[in-house]
A and B are shown apart, each in its own frame.
Chain A
Amino acid sequence: MEWGRVLAALMGFLGDFDLAEEATADAFATAAERWPDDGVPPNPGGWLTTTAKRRAIDLIRRRASLAEKLSLLDQPESHLDEKDEMDEFDDPATVIGDERLELIFMCCHPALATESQVALTLRALGGLSTAEIAGAFLVGEETMKRRLSRGRAKIRAARVPFAVPADHLLPERLAAVLAVVYLIYNEGYGGRVELAAEAIRLGRVLTALMPDEPEVHGLLALMLIQHARHRARFAGGDLVLLADQDRSLWDGEAIVDGRRLLDRAIALRGRGQYVLQAAIASLQLEPEPDWLQISGLYERLIELTGSEVVKLNHAVAVAQAGDPSRALELIDRLALDGYSYMHSARGELLARLGRSGESRCAFERALALSRSEAERRFLENRLSEL
């Protein structure tokens, strides 16, 4: 996360995203070259930031024909004096201002397309290369390069602010930031584990930067608790349902950490969608989950989001709490005909109610809609059991 911190400091200093990225990349390259021989300086972040600033000034000088950019040099920056710089490197106590929050809000600005928000956040905060981001999203490097440059061009031309939004805008903007992080996480949950880990790292940065925002803690708690089970979700490429998972494969430390964050979120009076989802995820880990309580939490989540998928999960919780007929009624009201999970959930309920013919039809429909190999195998097994 040092990359994000250095880039943010440079962005605050220069106000030019492209230049800030170039100078940061150069500073990291210099470090990779020198540190193995010279040793890591006592204050690596300070070293990188100062080196990047010096590099940026070189770049600006080289582009001296651009008079407007030169005016940046008029800004008083007394500590850029060569001698002071060296003092700064040597003093581990030097605190480099943290402007990563400004950087996150800029990258996740709602004026940018979602795919640009995601790509810019991974690039700027996560320090991932364009090729790495492209690989994670299974798109070509050229496509990802275009996505990033479209985002950067808009930031520059429309002057998307490098700032933490004013209080009256904060709830909406924070929701956008959290949505981007959760989107990154969910891409990873589909099997590409590195993105999930990256999202968790971003979540940790956010909790450090916004320690009093309950939803920030809620989101990190949710990601940690879900991610704790990732090794148990598949067995030799086959999907394993929560109830059948080998609990010894769960990451106990992540669960403890997630639950601690959830407690903190609740203590901050967090009742938002991520806090609720984290609470549900936590309750589901119990050997005998309290499905009535879970179904109650889903009801509150429905009030907040109105989401059909949440309604489906609610119906499943109602069935688990012992009322499959009511669950089936709830599912039959949903507008989710193209969603394979709706049909597999229906199939399960119909099987439990002894309506095996209808159950088969539902599973077949789920199978036709499923896009993942592991899921298809799971559904085929289920069909052969009926």
Chain B
Amino acid sequence: MQYAILIYDKPGSYEALAPDEFERVMAEYGPITEDPAVRGGAQLQPVLTATTVRVDGGQTLTTDGPFADTKEVLGGYYVIDVEDLDQALEFAARIPSARMGGAVEVRPIVGRGALETRRED
């Protein structure tokens, strides 16, 4: 079962760390990324680099900034393959942003089985 692990950072939470603390926190991502459950993922550039596109009546509207105007910003994600939600939640709880004022959202990825159940609804 695959899950997307979406990492929302509290803006400025990493910048606020002292250099040695920052090193320590970043080092934690090593074993997380190396976890055999990980199927992919990426760290995103800061939100000020984001561009949002909407298409309205064939017209492309391009605006500066992220889509959602929320306090936390999407800073990166993993795709993991684990047995069930409990394992996914445990993986999510290891991510430093979760304890640094941010949050980690766990979303199951639509797979073959999930598509099927959707059709049944």
Contacts and interface: CB of A to CB of B under 8 A. Distances in A.
Interface of A: 66, 68, 109, 111, 153, 156-161, 163, 165-166, 169
A159 B84 contact: yes
A156 B85 contact: no
A68 B116 contact: yes
B53 interface: no
Give the most central of A109, A158, A160, A169: most B CB within 10 Å. A158
A111 B92 CA distance: 13
Contacts of B108: 157-159
B14 to A, nearest CB: 27
A153 B85 contact: no
Interface in B63-91: 83-86, 89
A169 B87 CA distance: 11
B86 A165 contact: yes
B113 A161 contact: no
A81 B34 CA distance: 47
A161 B86 contact: yes
Contacts of A161: 83-86
B35 to A, nearest CB: 17
A326 to B, nearest CB: 39
Interface residues of B, number: 14
Contacts of B59: none
Contacts of B85: 109, 111, 158-161
A111 B89 contact: yes
B49 to A, nearest CB: 31
Contacts of B106: 158
A170 B67 CA distance: 39
Contacts of B116: 66, 68
User: Could you tell me the dominant secondary structure of chain A's interface residues?
Assistant: loop
A68 B86 contact: no
Contacts of B121: 153
Contacts of B113: 68
Contacts of A163: 84, 86
Contacts of A158: 85, 106, 108
Contacts of B84: 159-161, 163
A158 B5 CA distance: 12
Nearest to B1: A159
Contacts of B89: 111
Contacts of A157: 108, 114, 117
Interface string B100-121: 0000001010001110110001
- The 6 closest A-B CB pairs, nearest first, are A161-B84, A159-B84, A158-B108, A158-B85, A159-B1, A161-B86
From A156, A163, A166, residue with most partner B Cβ within 10 Å: A156
A159 B113 CA distance: 11
A165 B113 CA distance: 24
Contacts of B117: 156-157
14 contacts: A68-B112, A68-B113, A68-B116, A156-B117, A157-B108, A157-B114, A158-B108, A159-B84, A160-B84, A160-B85, A161-B83, A161-B85, A161-B86, A163-B84
Given A159-B1, A166-B86, 17 more contacts: A66-B116, A68-B116, A109-B85, A153-B121, A156-B117, A157-B108, A157-B114, A157-B117, A158-B106, A159-B85, A160-B84, A160-B85, A161-B83, A161-B85, A163-B84, A165-B86, A169-B86
